[in-house]
Amino acid sequence: MMKLNSALIVLLSMNLFGTAQSLKQEEQVLSIVPIDMRRVEELALLLPEKPRGFGMPIDNRQIWDSMHASGDFMHLINSADDFLDEPYPQLTDEIYLSFFNSNDSERSKNLIVKRRNILSTWVLAECLTDDGKYLGAIKHAILDIIALKSWNFPAEDRQKTNFHGTQYTINLSPAAYAHELAQTMYLLGDRLDNTLRKKLLKSLYIRVFDPALQAVETNNANKAFVSLTNTGNHNAVTLSGVTGAALCVINSPIERAKFVAMAERYILNSFQGYLDDGYCTEGISYFNYGFNHIILLRENILQATGNSLDIFSNNEKIKKIALFATHMEIANGVFPAIGDCSPYPKPNVNIVEYLNKSLGISNASGEAATIKLIPPLTNLMYFFPNNMLVTTIVAGERPNIGVRSFFEIGGILNVRSGDKESKHLAGCIKGGNNAEKHNHNDLGSFSVVKGDELLMGDPGLPIYTSKQFSPHRYTIKTNASYGHPVPLIDNRQQSAGIDARARIIRKHFTDTLDILEMDISSAYDVPSVNYIIRKFAYKRQPEVCLEVVDSVSFSKPVSYETALITRGTWKQVSETCIEIRKGEEKVTVDIDVPGGRYTVQEETITESQLPYKRIAIKIDKPFSSGSVKLSFSDRENFVAIF
């Protein structure tokens, strides 16, 4: 025992690099400093005399009439007409406060987004048709939004300072309001009367522009713009919205330049949130959300400065980030739902295409982006000239993405058979730590794909409630380790926090066999734990299989339980084997436990919009040491690896 632990200590001390670097990156966040007016003066010289946004104003009829005549946008005009048939939905105090009164996070948020999208649909339809049909509804919606007590989602206004008008703060929703309303002013021009334009501009200053400038000048004393020093998607989303709005409607180039200077500095914090291997700990869904806004910000600034200022410049990490989505594919277009990802997430092909083309990367997605003009108004970026080098890279045959993708710092390994048309098993293996952004307590979690079906693995996010981002986050089973294919030790789940981290103690990659071994002991606050080593082995030849082996040691016998997570169907086909099916695919799971006796128990968890099953494998008797092995295969010529 002492020799094994000593060896482990040596190995672990050699494999703290990933966590150490992650912590170091957090320490490098750029703090808030007063705006450098010399830089502002330099930037002001690059900006046009008049503000501009995405797309072209409605008066440029040659472009808009051509778009309308194409017939490609009738879906949008039809939607705009449908919205005219109903009253503009009201955001009442009762709906806003439902977040506080009934633990309902989604009702108000969904309504706020819907209202913005309705307005944007009318604006786009008016630009296409220019017949005044939608102007009355647009003006009514703008006045309604100006009159709102708060532009925030209720979850962003937990102290109700926006609702009560005592302090306006900039979060995701106000930034989105600002950009959409500013784009509306830019696109419609004098189709909006001067009185309404003045009211709207005044509201933008009160709600967004003034709080942003004050936050920078006062070191954010009133916490009005906290995402400036955030390293997650909030930073990019808010900076993009605020900067884009300023570039759309502020007349003074010097004043516009202040917002560009802010964006130029603080967007670096967003890049800091990606690990140096390009991994996004927020997962595919939030990568889509966050990096889309980085692209919007980049394009806004490039276009406003005549391509003189590029926030991608001199950033060695960008190309690695650009390949994140491609390398997160497990196989056959299936991606893992790690953390707060939507179930069955996929990368936004528009983002992938933009990054590939603008950075000169081969079109690794293999798909041509199919862009449909829908809200928000910022989607106009994709319909007008931008900085994608469209003549350099074209969509082609889907490439072979290789037998593995390994994010060494992030602790993520995707393993594949290597045949791009393969129906063989493939898998995603997760290490990392339990303090990642949008984190679930999931050290040692894994997903199994066969063909184009996710047969088993991470369930993705639960339905958001007010508990989701509160001290009660991990009372939600889907956020806790309970909702993941990881052990319960002595009836205890994994702990949250940076101290719970997977230490990679062995990696061995060959053409025929990949092994990744990690110590996840630190995730379990169980005094009797000596060690919990989880080993993943993926064999490609002569047949494909994935084995997950837990080698454990405790100072006294404890109960042990592991789990399989699936949205498929399952049955126990023998004393030692379970079969999981989904669609036309199936996988068998051979189970080998100390003592040879275990009990299988199913629980349906309904916290997600797509309920899933937790299949608990409970070893009948407590034990103090041994190995628990799960072997995944299609059982044709199956031979265990270990």
Please state, in angstroms and rounded to a whole number, the distance separating the CA atoms of residues 479 and 477: 5
Query: 242 near 170, Cβ under 8 Å?
Result: yes
DSSP one-letter string for 350-416: HHHHHHHHHHT---TT-S-------SSGGGGGGGS--S--TTT----SPPP--SEEEETTTTEEEE-
Each residue's pLDDT tens digit, 577-601 = 999 999 999 999 999 999 999 999 9
**pTM score of the predicted model:** 0.91
**Proportion of the chain above pLDDT 90, given as a percent:** 81
Residue 3 has pLDDT above 70, yes or no: no
Each residue's pLDDT tens digit, 288-320 = 999 999 999 999 999 999 999 999 998 889 989
Q: Mean pLDDT score of the chain, rounded to an integer?
A: 90
Q: Which of 111-125, 363-377, 417-431 has the lowest mean pLDDT?
A: 363-377
The average pLDDT across 223-243 equals 97
Q: How far is CA 165 from the centre of its chain?
A: 31
Residue 372 has pLDDT above 90, yes or no: no
492: which residues sit within 8 A by CB, 6+ positions away? 524, 525, 526
Each residue's pLDDT tens digit, 376-423 = 999 999 888 888 743 333 344 445 578 999 999 999 999 999 876 568
The predicted pLDDT at position 530 comes to: 97
Residue 609 has pLDDT above 70, yes or no: yes
The predicted pLDDT at position 118 comes to: 98
**Proportion of the chain above pLDDT 70, given as a percent:** 91
Angle subtended by helix axes 233-249 and 194-204, to nearest 10: 150
The average pLDDT across 16-29 equals 48
The predicted pLDDT at position 106 comes to: 85
The average pLDDT across 371-375 equals 80
Residue with the bigger pLDDT between 302 and 465: it is 302
- Give me the residues paired with residue 626 across strands: 552
Locus of tokens 């919009």: 609
